[in-house]
A and B are shown apart, each in its own frame.
Chain A
Amino acid sequence: MNQKARFSAWGLFKRGLTRSHWPRVWDHHELRDSYDVVIVGGGVHGLATAYYLARNHGITNVAVVEKSYIGSGGSGRNTAIVRSNYLTPEGSKFYDRSVELYEHLAADLNFNVMFEQRGHMTLAHSDSSLRTMRWRAEVNKLQGIDSSVIGPEEIKSLAPFLDTSDHPRYPILGALWHPPGGIVRHDAVVWGYARAAAALGVHIHQGTELTGIEVESGRVAVAQTSRGDIATSTIVNCTAGWASLVAKMAGVRLPIITRPLQAAVTEPVRQFLHPVVVSGSLHTYVSQTARGELVFGASVDPFASYSTRGSLEFATGLATHVLELMPAISKMRMLRQWAGLCDMTPDFGPIIGPTPVDGFYVDVGWGTYGFKAGPVAGESVAEMVANGRPGSLIEPFGLERFHAGTLTAEKGAAAVGH
């Protein structure tokens, strides 16, 4: 990116004085006849993959094809929580790298992704969940991850609005406290990667839908799109919600069930909730954005669907659960509700790796936690595409595990702990 286009306070000041516009963050391009790599899906995974391909491996003849606008899928619909206090050593290691990347992302991309490490608190309402919290804390400590179990008093001092009084049903007995966790501006992550990738020569094609994949003697040959065919030897499926449909175009069957996950946001109020608060038993997570809105999420809906509409049941259930945690906010108003699509695999682990079709890679099945893994997934997938084989961090997540019985699974922690 040339110096003129670099974002800085000085640049803002100069352009303010001269009232001139910033240059475009990414350009429109004609679709080339061929690309070295075609990435399907302009979300954080696809764009991060494109960026790391260009930056780390010098592969710049890359197209990202996105059927709508960038960040229109899961990347723009999640609740933007980042953390690394996972239950298994493999999971912790993977997400710890993601947190590390997030911490340096603003400087790396020259785009402030507003990563606010407000701390991440997972509440325990029962003996058994307290035991799980202790387990996670012990595993995390051994991995060098900042994570500990705290009691109601400390919880109250970190989040005074939580009702730590003696509840009959959902008493707050303790919490897993993870200071490096926090929230990030999800759109900024998408745009930051897009801008940085575009500056390195990657073509971002919005409004360009993949319609088919031509496979010739077991190898990827052509990516067919709504704007024309692209000859390519490498296609990376970085979609969510439609991952199994895209894979089917290459004749690859993925063990994925797509389920909606609903979320909602309130009107803004002055800041009162600093950390991210999660309650597994109440299937709820809450954070307050810098703008003052509360962002709520839940667990996935218990049925398969491609619908991104919100339901009344979700809204009422969510409100009940949130008020159970913070009865003082009953007069706040819900402003918007929506749903995103989650591709669930049998073991809740993602599927990253090559497929039986040469040159067709997948980075899919991210369930409910794809956003927080975006940077590290992009980095690892780029490395895999460049080297032709997966690196050690993502090795356990290959597609073949479903045929070999070596499930990885983060089910315990990933299922509800966001």
Chain B
Amino acid sequence: MSRLSERPGEVIDRTRPMDFSWNGKPYRGYAGDSIASALAASGVRVFSRSFKYHRPRGILTASFHDPNLMVQVGDEPNVRAGHRLVEEKMEVSAQNAWPSLGFDAKGVNRLLGRFLTPGFYYKTFMSPRSLWPWYQRVLARFAAGGVVGVDPQPGRYDHRYAHPDVLVAGGGPAGMAAAIDAAEAGAAVILVEEEHRLGGHLRWGDSDDLGALEELSAAVLSHPGIEVMVDSVVTGRYDHNWVAIAQRGVEGVDERLVKARVKCLVVATGTIERPYVFEGNDLPGVMLSTAVRRLINLHAVRPGERAVVLSANGPGDSAIADLEEAGVEVAEVIDARGDDTVIKASGRMGVQGVIDSRGRRHDADLLVTAVGWTTTTTLLNMAGDRPMYEPRAARYLSKSLPYDVLATGGIVGDGSTDQLVQHGTAIGREAARRASVVKFQWLTAVPTGVTRQPPDTSEIEVPPLEAERHPELFRSSTHGFVDYSEDVTSKDLFAAAAEGYDSMELAKRYTTVNMGPIQGKLEAVNAVAIHGEATGSSPLETSTTTWRPPYAPVSLGVLAGRQYEPVRYSVIQPWHERREAKPLVAGSWIRPEHYGDPVAEVTAVREAVGIIDVSPLGKIDLRGRDVPKLLEFVYVNKWSKLDVGKVRYGIMCNEDGVIFDDGVTGRLGADQYMMSSTSGGAAGVWNWLDDWLQTGFPDWDVKMTAVTDGYASINVAGPNSRELVGRLTEIDLRPEAFGYMEVRTGVVAGVPGCFLWRIGFTGELSYEIHVPSAYGLWVWERLLEKGEDLGVRAFGIEAQRIMRLEKGHFIVGQDTDGLTQGHGMGVDWAIKLDKPDFAGKPELMWQAERDDYRRLAAIQTEDPAIVPPEASQIVAGDVIKGRITSSRMSPTLGRSICLGQVDPDLAAPGSRLHIRLSDGVTVAARVLEHHAHFDPEGTRLRG
């Protein structure tokens, strides 16, 4: 292969040479060259070794969908060398070959081919079982594909949303015409083309084709209503015309995912040329006619010296002319429209000879086949179409499409450029019209005084585009490769059928045909036809293949876009950072675990006053007449008589009676409530309420607003808390004016719109101040400033956890688990089974009748110095009797304290337990009378 003199339609820029390397050796191409064309121009013929037999492989389609042109580019595996443009200093290497492409040690598999029948691995490596791990390692070495490095250059990716009226997938003549006329009709159009330039097959056509291409592409590119995306691919059409485009060539990023809500989708993805199955059909030098025409006309590469051409169609015949023009000697033309065909291509590292069906041998280094086309119906399938096989045209054709999807071009039928353009033009106008209908339907409300003209409902007449008659050519009389990427031969398909894998789906799964990176685009139709031959059925006529998304493989990077996993911080975070708080991941929040000395923080709260940032607490503003009904339903306890100014603690259970959240809800006004949830449960609680309101009680008058981020929340706790809060607010804090479990609204540190509730997780007198979040930091700092003489100190989650454990308060998700139903937590007083209904009631009624569930218990080890790690199991011998759910050393009591779940027979106060530590040692412990290790009467709290 070598470079030709200038071609009229060439896409290379000979003034811009590109130096790159291939397997470590320097090569030169031109700007506009694909990696494959640049290498081919320099005489490279073998590009890869095949997956199973390690056979040498060369150019087959010279396009994105070429199974033999997968290469490694730098740290990027499986790059399509038939598509990716060569760049300066690009490092390209072959995949799947060792030590070199020319000599591949695993090529020995070619000799073993007769033993490596499909599914051979299911039939061996079974005994002795001890050797199986070794077999696994050997098999793993044969995995195909490129290499990913542990630390590659990070790619840059982005997402974009688009709302075009019309999206045209495919920039061939019909697609371009559709785009132009849709835009002319006023539609906002996006035109997406997989290749680097518009034009489809016109690009490698004759001067008339090139003229038409020039005209159409100029019209497209200059039209203000059309956004053109080349080197981009529509990867999927999902429900409601939600269309994904992987776009390359955008400045600043490697790839971008465009998510488009399309009013009318036009599929103009055309056809892909189909390979022919015969002996030696995978040898380097066996190429499709489109590959040859691309190489000659786009890249000015002479694909061989002496060619045999097997042609069954006009484009195939045109390849003959191209070959001759490129100075390739055409040794023989075999017309496949008659009875003649190719039997075999022979050669070792590439084609050397071709044997035809008359038994003649032709010396040749190039065999060009043009035996038919496969329609690229993936997007149609995804739109619900079930394309049917049309034997007359030897390809699948669209059967029925939804209103918002249209098809044009080769996917519909054949024709001259004029006919294709006429069809595209009509489809483009119809697409614009349908887009306007869809748009009208989408507009649910129109401003008063505006009358909208209903859209035109008369369909535009689309001229017919008939699929031409074409002979059905799938396999010659010999066996060859059907799936190049998976190394599946027609013989394998026959073997699979004979073994009983006699439906196409089973044969596919058994032989892995169609499962490789080409996704069946080249081989699916041949596979179905040959499977039919093997089973004596005609599955083409009866089957419709399922094409699953994506249309073309799409990088994980572009699917993810910018790595953006949001982290949430409280507005007080700057202060925490200044004090070097130890960060703690709590769901999506990062919170201060402590500020250096959690024990001192506990002491400060118990003896003076402390403040903790509890902003992540879930907060939901509930308003409306029926809020009490909702509370009554989602909480297990009673809510109907909650007076304004009161706060109540509540527990929520799922329908299975399992506790899933707890928190307090206060009544701020006649019809206004504020619900709080755990930090981690905030989203779940919101969904739970919303679910019930939407599905169970749509008539209820309840309005929910999530205000977690709207308020910064600060808990002020400790004996001095009343004094401290009193210095910042006019709200009457005297115990008789603002009692335990009450809520007040007012001004704090000059900030209006705050609400305070008097509750106590730590067991101390405490006020939880909720401040409009913009002023959170301000109030926090004022508290510290005004409380200096009171001994105020900030405390973190760790101190809070210690104190709540001292008080015996459980944490949902830590002291409960996915099996813990309400009664197990010792909150029977709260579960009101006499309420007419609430979520989880039937299950809790059942539970109340039983006595076989675990109970929460406060536990103390006999040796006060041992703190059993959380999750330590409580055992009797080897039988599990419970587990420690929380444990700490209590600074207040100077001993180890625990909460745990224990079997009912051990739950009684005073029961002696055995706790198995992770090292296997067992320690003794006792169950306490109350959950609280400290101040069980709660005198401090209510003071």
Contacts and interface: CB of A to CB of B under 8 A. Distances in A.
Interface of A: 7-9, 11-13, 15-17, 19, 21-27, 68-72, 76, 88-89, 103-104, 106-107, 110-114, 116-117, 125-128, 131-132, 134-135, 137-139, 142, 160-161, 168-171, 185, 187-188, 191-192, 206-207, 266-272, 290-292, 309-312, 315-316, 318-320, 322-324, 327-338, 346-347, 404-407, 409, 411-413, 415
Contact of A266 (B509, B510, B519, B556): B556
B445 interface: no
A324 B557 CA distance: 11
Interface string B136-163: 1001110111111111101101010000
B828 to A, nearest CB: 16
B585 A126 contact: yes
A206 B548 CA distance: 23
Nearest to A125: B585
Contact of B150 (A22, A160, A404): A160
Contacts of B155: 330-331
Contacts of B253: none
A15 B114 CA distance: 8
Contact of A409 (B259, B818, B842, B849): B818
B124 A9 contact: yes
Contacts of B506: 69-71
B774 interface: no
B819 interface: yes
Contacts of B565: 169-170, 320, 324
A72 B146 contact: no
B404 interface: no
B231 to A, nearest CB: 15
B555 interface: yes
A295 to B, nearest CB: 12
A331 B817 CA distance: 39
A407 B76 contact: no
B238 A405 contact: no
Contacts of B516: 268
B921 interface: no
B559 A334 contact: yes
Given A320-B565, A323-B563, A328-B150, A312 B236 contact: yes
A128 B499 contact: no
B126 interface: yes
Interface string B667-682: 0000000000000100
A134 B817 CA distance: 14
Contacts of B655: 346
B847 to A, nearest CB: 7
B559 A268 contact: no
Interface of B: 75-78, 114-115, 117, 120-127, 129, 132-133, 136, 139-141, 143-152, 154-155, 157, 159, 236, 238-239, 242, 244, 257, 259, 382, 495, 498-501, 503, 505-506, 509-510, 512, 516-517, 519, 548-550, 553-557, 559-561, 563-567, 584-588, 590, 655-656, 658, 680, 813-814, 817-819, 842-843, 845-847, 849-850, 869-873, 875, 878, 880, 883, 916, 918
B557 A330 contact: yes
Contact of B873 (A128, A142, A161, A331): A142
A127 B145 contact: no
A7 B561 contact: no
B814 A330 contact: no
Given A268-B143, A328-B151, A168 B818 contact: no
Nearest to A173: B585
Nearest to A107: B126
Contact of B510 (A187, A315, A405): A187
25 contacts: A16-B114, A21-B495, A76-B509, A112-B123, A127-B586, A131-B871, A134-B918, A135-B871, A161-B150, A169-B566, A207-B503, A271-B140, A271-B143, A291-B512, A292-B145, A312-B238, A312-B244, A323-B560, A323-B563, A330-B555, A331-B152, A332-B556, A338-B548, A405-B845, A411-B818
Given A69-B505, A312-B236, A142 B878 contact: yes
A75 B916 CA distance: 40
Contacts of A169: 565-567, 585, 588
A315 B559 contact: yes
The 6 closest A-B pairs by CB, nearest first: A405-B846, A292-B143, A330-B557, A412-B818, A319-B559, A333-B553
A147 to B, nearest CB: 12
Contacts of B244: 312, 315
B499 A25 contact: yes
Contacts of B588: 169
Contacts of A415: 818
A76 B147 CA distance: 28
A24 B817 CA distance: 51
A315 B257 CA distance: 12
B685 to A, nearest CB: 15
Given A22-B499, A331-B77, A409 B819 contact: yes
A199 to B, nearest CB: 12
Given A138-B872, A333-B78, A112 B126 contact: yes
Contacts of B555: 330-334
Given A12-B123, A22-B499, A405-B847, A316 B561 contact: yes
B548 A336 contact: yes
B871 A404 contact: no
B540 to A, nearest CB: 18
Given A8-B124, A12-B123, A269-B147, 9 more contacts: A23-B499, A27-B500, A70-B506, A138-B871, A319-B560, A323-B560, A327-B563, A332-B555, A407-B843
Contacts of B143: 268-271, 290-292
A89 to B, nearest CB: 6
Contacts of A112: 121-126
Nearest to A88: B819
B584 A11 contact: no
Contacts of A328: 148-152
Contacts of B382: 309
B495 to A, nearest CB: 6
B69 to A, nearest CB: 14
A138 B884 CA distance: 11
B259 A405 contact: no
A332 B77 contact: yes
Contacts of A89: 880
A372 B555 CA distance: 30
Which of A89, A117, A409 has most B Cβ within 10 Å?
A409
A262 to B, nearest CB: 11
B559 A316 contact: yes
A159 to B, nearest CB: 11
A409 B129 CA distance: 35
B690 to A, nearest CB: 12
A142 B814 contact: no
Contacts of A292: 143-145
Contacts of A137: 871
B115 A12 contact: yes
B124 A316 contact: no
B873 A138 contact: yes
Nearest to B151: A328
Contacts of A114: 121-122
A393 B71 CA distance: 52
Contact of B559 (A11, A72, A309, A318): A318
Contact of A270 (B146, B500, B656): B146
A257 to B, nearest CB: 12
A315 B244 CA distance: 11
A112 B124 CA distance: 7
Contact of A171 (B585, B819, B846): B585
Contact of B117 (A15, A68, A187, A338): A15
Contact of B870 (A69, A134, A267): A134
A138 B499 CA distance: 47
A104 B136 CA distance: 16
Contacts of B505: 68-69, 72
Contact of B563 (A22, A23, A324): A324
A168 B499 contact: no
